[in-house]
Amino acid sequence: MSEPILQVANLHVDFQTYGGVVQAVRGVSFDVCAGQTLAIVGESGCGKSVTVQSLMGLIPMPPGRIHQGSAHLRGHDILASKIIDGQDIRGSQISMIFQDPMTSLNPTMNIGSQIAETLEVHKGYSKSDAFARAIELLDMSKIPEAAKRAKQYPFEFSGGMLQRAMIAMAIACEPAILVADEPTTALDVTIQAQILDLLGDLQQETGMAIILITHDLGVVARMADEVMVIYAGEVVERGGVDDIFYRSGHPYTQGLRLAMPTNNQDTEANQTLVAIDGSPPDLFNPPRGCAYHPRCPYAMQVCAEQAPPTRTLGADHQAQCWLHHEMAGALPDGLVSASKVGQ
Amino acid sequence: MLKYFAKRIFLGLVTIWFIASATFFGMHAVPGDPLAGDKAMTAQIRANLEAKYGLDQPLGTQYLIYLGNIAQGDFGISFTQENRRVNDIIREHFPISATLGILAIVFAGLGGVLWGALTALYRNRWPDVVIMFLVILGISVPSFVVAAISQWSLVGLNLATGTAVLPIGGWGTVWHMLVPALVLGLSTMAYLTRLMRSSMLEVVSTDYIRTAKAKGLPATQIFSRHQLRNAILPVVTVLGPAIAGITTGGFVVEIVFAIPGLGRYFVQAIQQLDYTVIMGTTVFYGAFLVFMVILVDLVYGFIDPRVRVEK
Amino acid sequence: MSTSHLTPADFQPLQSSVSGQQISRPSLSYWADAWRRLQDNPRAMASMGLIAFLLAFVSVGPYLWQVDPSVQDLDQIGIGPGADRSVTLAPPFQPWLPEQQSTILADNAMGLTLTMPATTQAVRLMWARADGVRYRLYRNLFDPSDTGSFGLPLAELDRSYFEDRLDLQAGTYFYSLVMLDANGAETATAITRTVNVTRVISVAEAVERGLIKTEAEAQLGQELRLAWHPLGTDYLGRDMLARLMYGGQVSLFIGIFAPLAFVLLGVIYGSVAGFLGGATDQAMMRFADFVVALPFLLFMILFKVIFGIGPGESGIWPMLVAMIILLWPAPARLVRGQILQIREEGYVSASRLLGGTTSYVVGRHMLPNTLGVILVTMTFQVPSAIFTEAFLSFIGMGVAPPTPSWGAMCNEGIKSMLTRPHELMFPALLISITVLAFNLLGDGLRDALDARMRGTE
């Protein structure tokens, strides 16, 4: 595997609110390599967006606070200052596209100008050069009649085309990493497929890394190389996409998989959807021990007392669960143990 | 775009017709003969009026005569001033009121946008607190009190410095215009500040501002191109009706500062029950306001592309 | 975290004592939630308190302070709050015969002097007169050396004495005597004298005003106290506090009742239009647009003229009717927009699908969701109604004397703003406080009732 472009270690982000301190991210570490797609998976409110947005300086820092952890982008420490300005990396080295394209673009500026803006600011293009390049980018994103479209306004586009325009805007400055925060959630399924294909093609062409934040395992299966499962601000499992799907080592990951409807005829045809009982924990007061234990069907006494250690289950595959401890009994069905795969 | 305006202009004309008709029928609902009464009216005026309006004719004919006159821009003759045409009165005094009003709107608009943007930028810090306090004062204190107090302060200021720093009344130079226009625009400025503030705060939390930040644009550019441009839209929408408020507020300011504008004239006409002047000024003001609203719509269409393209 | 002394017991299954879904907080109804949020807003609560106080002031106040607002206290015209209200008993007014008085020695060239202590009955001045010279006598409330103006010209005389009985009030006057030249123009020779006027009253007047019971009790030189006016009096000697209370009744009545009425009218009109939809809706709204275009204030005035009431006659009801007729379109349009929006909402369709009748859907789902908007609108219309009434009274087209209203009182107060500021200040202050309170309350209501903010702290 190539050298990681982004290395995040032990990131802790919390928010000072009137109700108390919300611990949104509690010790998240990951690496992202060039040309790879990392999927960050989790429920709403688990901290996946906050993790990445805090790295980019998009979290307002008076209520938000990074009180621990480090992040290095191509060797540079981007958390050096307490309050991250982040302006130099946003848009040029790390770009982001968002969930709802209909509201994510300025309604009073035409699309071409909005794309050209980044080029003018980060690459010093002139207005006309930037606009011309914007048209090219729209073309690259497979928007027909790009020259005409560039002069139009967001409300004249459909959802799928807007998302393509957003992608064009994001890759304008050839970023090293493109972050896609639930890019397809607001779109039709057929459009979803097109957008994901576009992302894949662009990644092939430019060699950029993609961080894909999603709660949809179908998207993960299609796009991801690496997957990181987050629950209540902690990484509960991390590994390659095959590991996560076929050899999961954490009850939560298993639960997510079982809750996914499939049309796999032979084996799963008569199985009911298994939902995960309970609701996500209150982050003002995260539970002691393992954050997942109130909802885990295999919870043990120790799970309520102490936080589980991280166990390596395979090459680049880790899980954080007491079930992998020597003293835990036999593993439940469907979970892979450390011993099975080998240390 | 053209169709949009043709439609608006047509509607505007119908509205003016409605205003004129409402005025006409309203005035004719007054029981009794408007020409009788305790006002000493010379035979000359009476003869002129009867000839002009066909006052001995049935109502329907009078109405048509009236409409015809208005269509030609003729508002008739003053009841109380011999042979003085209402048109002349309007022509003489309206430009003064218009200047005052325009200056006031400029103050109110610029001030409102500026202070509103400031309070949103420095939210919950001292500029915000101070400005909002002044805003609350601005919308609570009646305009005539503000006018009176400001004149009082001017007197005091002139006395203290021993010279006439600013004239305390009358009209003629730019200096005469400043304080009255400021006083006139004050309550509208306060209102626009509040509007701009809430609009800015709403815009700040939108998705597209988040995108702009994610693009790494410098804060000033985000502020001017993305925030301001969108936040100003509700303020511009409100400008049209605000002009109506400034027009009526102008009456007070003209009275207090002894400015020979149309508003002061109108109030005098009311107190003297000069019917033709009242009617003519009403219709004129009504038409003026309709025109201003259309103008503001034009400006709005310029700023907000959604309106342009759809309509 | 280090795994410290783990035993096999630790790895026994955890008895789930915690049920899957827990209710973390009691759920509140929309109105309970809104009320709670309103209570958390200190400015809104303060405003409510203020409004309650004002309503009590104008309704209960007159029973506590039983003074007739139209009675004129001629001895205390235009006094400020807390002014001295003592009056001395003195013999009745005797005409002045200056010839019988000895000449007062001059203390300078013209020598303007008092012949007796100045009282509210008369101020008697004498001066040394040069033969054939005419003089002009002025009186001012302010010192001419400060203002540069001598003030009110009292008389032009070629004698050496003058008795001033013009509208004398207790206080300090500045009399100036200016020498005139042969052509009648003022020369530079002038002298100013400060005169302190004390308030006096004859025994007969005192009995008449109820200050002493019988003439027999009276002692000349005795000091009595006149009626107390806590907030002073106006230019006609009427008690300010009483006028403010009664004036408040008028202002608040119009300010609250008119919005109530025209918002209600607008709600009915708008709901019908929104509900019927289609061409009827379009036509109804077109009509509303026309009414909106009528320049409001001008038509208010027109209405008053129509009702045949000129300046000088009281006009509460015409004002009310005019406001209702002219102002209903705005709430109508608002409510119609709300209804149109709500009609498309999912829960309305769901309710229909579940078998809800039209009246049920309207009453249970649509109206409660518009009530918030209606309430906020009404609250914000009160300040404009009060301003409108004040403005109209100010230009003389509102309620007219003797009926007091805060706006009319401001109008009267402006004329004497420089000499007796309290006449303007008190009604202006009350108007401002009322307007402020309703504005803040409206803000608070809007924040509390805004459904989008539910659940956010």
Tell me, yes or no, if C23 comes closer than 8 A to chain A by beta carbon: no
pLDDT tens digits, C33-48: 788 888 888 888 999 9
Structure tokens at C455: 């659940």
Select the more confidently predicted residue: C140 or C368: C140
pLDDT at A105: 92
Measured distance CA(B196)–CA(B135) in Å, rounded: 12
Q: In Å, how far is A309's CA from the nearest CA of chain C? A: 8
Please compute the mean of the pLDDT values over residues A104-118 and round it to a whole number.
91
* pLDDT in the model for residue C456: 37
Q: Which residue of C has its CA nearest to B241?
A: C293
Contacts of A234 in chain C (CB under 8 A): none
Q: Yes or no: say if B166 and B179 are a contact pair by the CB < 8 Å rule.
A: yes
- Identify the pLDDT of residue C140: 87
- Name every chain A residue with its beta carbon within 8 A of the beta carbon of C13: 298-301
Radius of gyration over every alpha carbon of chain B, rounded to an integer in angstroms: 24
Mean pLDDT on C424-450: 87
d(CA A293, CA A281) in angstroms, rounded, equals: 10
- Return the pLDDT at C457: 31
> Three-state SS for C120?
coil
Contact B155, B76 (CB under 8 A): no
Q: Contact B139/C431, CB-based, under 8 Å? A: no
| B266 neighbourhood in chain C, CB within 8 Å | 298
Q: What percent of chain C has pLDDT over 70?
A: 87
Q: What are the DSSP E strand ranges found in C70-147?
A: 86-90, 113-114, 123-126, 135-140
Range from A89-98, B161-170, B234-243, C20-29 carrying the lowest mean pLDDT: C20-29
CB-based burial of residue C19 (10 Å sphere; 0-12 exposed, 13-18 middle, 19+ buried)?
exposed
Contacts of C279 by beta carbon, 8 Å cutoff, 6+ apart: none
Nearest to A61 by CA among B213, C293, B234: B213
Query: ω before A63 within 30° of 0 (cis)?
Result: no
Using CA atoms, how far residue B274 sits from A37, B41, B90, C294, C308, in Å, is 82, 11, 14, 20, 13
Cβ–Cβ gap C11/A293 under 8 Å: no
Cβ <8 Å between B271 and C290: no
pLDDT at A341: 45
User: E strands of chain B, at which residues?
Assistant: none
Q: Is the pLDDT of residue C454 over 80?
A: no
Q: Which of B3, B23, B263, B296 is nearest to C290 (CA)?
A: B23
Residues of A in contact with C40 (CB under 8 A): none
Range with the poorest average pLDDT among A125-139, B228-242, B268-282, C27-41: B268-282
Q: What are the tokens at B150? A: 């400001």
CA–CA dist B159, B176 (Å, integer): 17
- Quick check: B140 and C435 CB within 8 A? yes
Nearest to A133 by CA among A145, A110, A154, A150: A150
Q: How far apart are CA A326 and CA C224, in angstroms?
A: 104
Which residue among C298, C308, C410 places its CB closest to the CB of B144? C410
Q: Read off the pLDDT band of B51 (50, 70, 90).
A: low
- Asked if C279 is an interface residue toward chain A (Cβ–Cβ < 8 A), one would say no
B/e letters for A187-212, b = 16+ CB within 10 Å, e = fewer, are beeebbebbbebbeebbeebebbbbb
Give the three-class secondary structure for A283.
coil
Confidence at residue A166, expressed as pLDDT on a 0 to 100 scale:
93
C106 falls in which pLDDT band (50, 70, 90)?
A: very low
Q: Nearest Cβ partner of A302 from C11, C16, C457?
A: C11
Contact call for A104 and B306, based on CB within 8 A:
no
Contact across the interface for C6 and A19, Cβ inside 8 Å: no
Task: Say if CB A295 and CB A311 are below 8 A apart.
Answer: no
Given this model, what pLDDT does residue C437 score?
92
pLDDT value at residue C100: 46
B238 close to B192: Cβ distance less than 8 angstroms: yes
Residues of C in contact with B281 (CB under 8 A): 298
What pLDDT does residue C1 have? Answer: 44
Which DSSP helix (H) or strand (E) runs through A310? strand A310-314
Quote the minimal CA–CA distance from A286 to chain B in Å: 28
Helix (H, G, I), strand (E, B) or coil at B246: helix
Tell me how crowded residue C7 is: count the other CB atoms within 10 A of its CB: 10
Smallest Cα–Cα separation from A202: which of A145, A164, A240, A160? Answer: A164
Q: Do A42 and A26 form a contact (C-beta atoms < 8 A)?
A: no
- Provide the 3-class DSSP secondary structure of residue B85: strand
Most confident of A32-36, A89-93, C286-290, C308-312: A32-36
- C8 to chain A: closest CA residue: A327
Backbone φ and ψ for A141, nearest 5 degrees, come out as -85, 15
- CA distance readout (Å), C125 to C91, C140, C143, C198: 20, 15, 18, 15
- Check whether A255 has a pLDDT greater than 60: yes
Q: Cα separation of C395 and B255, whole Å? A: 9
* Letter string b/e over residues A217-229, b meaning 16 or more CB atoms within 10 A of that residue's CB: bebbebbbbbbbb
Sign, CA torsion C302/C307/C310/C316: negative
Closest C-chain CA to A275? C20
Residues of chain C positioned with their CB less than 8 A from the CB of B137: 432
ipTM: 0.83
Taken in order B248, B254, B260, B265, is the CA torsion positive or negative?
positive
Neighbours of B, requiring at least 3 CB pairs below 8 Å, are A, C
Percent of chain A, pLDDT > 90?
31
Q: Does C20 touch chain A (CB under 8 A)?
A: yes
> CB–CB of C140/C219 below 8 Å?
no
All structural domains of chain A with their residue ranges: 4-224, 230-340
Nearest CA in chain A to C16: A294
B210 in reach of chain A (CB within 8 A): yes
How far is residue C428's CA from residue B240's CA, in Å, rounded to a whole number? 28
Report DSSP letters for A137-198, one per residue.
HHHHTT-SSHHHHHTS-GGGS-HHHHHHHHHHHHHTT--SEEEEESTTTTS-HHHHHHHHHH
Contacts of A303 in chain C (CB under 8 A): 14
> Which chain A residue has its CA at the smallest distance from B305's CA?
A108
Span C55-62, average pLDDT: 90
Distance from C-alpha of A298 to C-alpha of C13, rounded to nearest angstrom = 7
The top-scoring range by mean pLDDT among A291-300, B164-173, C20-29 is: A291-300
* Confidence bin at B195 (pLDDT 50/70/90): confident
Q: Which residues of C touch A279 (CB under 8 A)?
A: 20-22
pLDDT value at position A150? 92
Strands C152-157 and C113-114, sheet pairing: unpaired
What average pLDDT does the structure give for chain B?
A: 80
- Yes or no: say if C231 and C240 are a contact pair by the CB < 8 Å rule: yes
H or E element that contains A11: strand A4-17
Most confident region among B29-33, B270-274, B306-310, C304-308 by mean pLDDT: B270-274
Q: Give the right CATH number for A4-224 from 3.90.1170.50, 3.20.20.150, 3.40.50.300, 3.40.50.880.
A: 3.40.50.300
Identify the CA nearest to C19 among candidates B265, A283, A294: A294
C16 and A294 within 8 Å at the Cβ level: the answer is yes
* Confidence band of C104 (pLDDT split at 50, 70, 90): very low
Question: Do residue B145 and residue C432 have CB atoms under 8 angstroms apart?
Answer: yes
Which residue of C lies nearest to A298 if distances are taken between CA atoms? C13
Whether A309 sits inside 8 A of C3 (CB atoms) is yes
Residue A233 is given by DSSP the state T
Q: Which of A264-268, B34-38, C271-275 has the lowest mean pLDDT?
A: B34-38
Is A116's pLDDT higher than 80? yes
Range ranked top by mean pLDDT from A295-299, B184-188, C21-25: B184-188
Q: Report residue B93 as tokens.
A: 């005094």
Whether the CB of C397 is below 8 Å from some CB of chain B: the reply is yes
Task: Report the DSSP pairing between strands A94-97 and A20-33.
Answer: unpaired
Contact A90 B229 (CB under 8 A): no
CA pair distance C378, C439, nearest whole angstrom: 11
Question: Which pTM value belongs to this model?
Answer: 0.77
Q: Would an 8 Å CB–CB cutoff place C137 in contact with chain B?
A: no
What pLDDT score does C47 carry?
92
Q: How far is C391 from chain B (nearest CA, A)?
A: 8
Q: What is the mean pLDDT of residues A64-76?
A: 85
- Rounded to 10 deg, the angle between the B86-121 and B126-140 helix axes is 150
Please name the member of B18, B23, B145 whose beta carbon is closest to the beta carbon of C293: B18
pLDDT average, residue stretch B14-36: 70
Average pLDDT over residues A191-218: 91
Please tell me the predicted confidence (pLDDT) of residue A82.
47
> Are the CB atoms for C251 and C390 separated by under 8 Å?
yes
Q: Which of A58-72, A228-242, A266-280, B182-196 has the lowest mean pLDDT?
A: A266-280
Alpha carbon distance B282, B298 (integer Å) = 24
**Phi-psi region for residue C333, left (φ > 0), alpha (ψ -120 to 50) or beta?**
alpha
- Kindly list the residues from chain A whose CB atom is less than 8 angstroms away from the CB atom of residue B304: 107-108
pLDDT given for residue B167 in this prediction: 75
Percentage of residues of chain A with pLDDT beyond 70 = 92
**Contact criterion met (CB below 8 Å) for C14 and A304:** yes
The structure tokens 């502020």 sit at: B223
Tally of CB atoms within 10 A around B13 = 12
Q: Which chains touch C (3 or more CB pairs under 8 A)?
A: A, B
* B305 near A CB under 8 A: yes
* Facing C11 at nearest CB: one of A279, A300, A309: A300
Structure tokens given for B102: 């325009």
B159/C301 Cβ within 8 A: no
Nearest to B213 among A58, A117, A122 (CB): A58
Could you tell me whether strands A37-41 and A20-33 are parallel, antiparallel, or unpaired per DSSP bridges? Answer: unpaired
The span from the CA of A215 to the CA of A220, in Å, is 8
B44 has pLDDT over 70: no
Q: Count CB atoms within 10 A of the CB of residue C263.
A: 25
Query: Residue B140: its pLDDT value, please?
Result: 85
Residue in chain B nearest C410 by alpha carbon: B145
Select from A19, A299, A300 the Cβ nearest to the Cβ of C457.
Answer: A19
Residue C171's region, left for phi above 0, alpha for psi from -120 to 50, else beta, is left
Residues 6+ apart with CB under 8 A from A277: A295, C20, C21
Tell me the angle at which helices C296-306 and B275-303 cross, rounded to the nearest 10 degrees.
160
Contacts of A19 in chain C (CB under 8 A): 457
pLDDT tens for A157-185 read: 998 899 999 999 999 988 999 999 998 88
Q: Nearest C-alpha of chain B: how many angstroms from C73?
A: 27
Other Cβ atoms within 10 Å of A233 Cβ, number: 27
Q: Is the per-residue pLDDT at B134 higher than 70? A: yes
CA A237 to chain B, closest CA, distance in angstroms equals: 28
Structure confidence at residue C51 (pLDDT): 93
Least CB–CB distance from C8: residue in A277, A279, A327: A327
- Closest approach of C73 to chain A, Cα-based (Å): 59
Q: Contact at 8 Å (CB) between C135 and C157?
A: yes
Share of chain B above pLDDT 70, in %: 84
Q: Note the pLDDT of residue B169.
A: 76
Residue range C97-114: mean pLDDT, rounded = 59
Of B31, B33, B81, whose CA–CA distance to B53 is shortest? B33
Task: Place B35 in a pLDDT band, splitting at 50, 70 and 90.
Answer: low
Residues with Cβ < 8 Å from A272, sequence gap 6 or more?
A: none
From CA B219, how far away is CA A263, in angstroms rounded? Answer: 49
Cβ <8 Å between A104 and B213 = no
Q: Which of A41-50, A87-96, A145-154, A245-254 has the least mean pLDDT?
A: A87-96
Q: Are strands A4-17 and A20-33 parallel, antiparallel or unpaired?
A: antiparallel
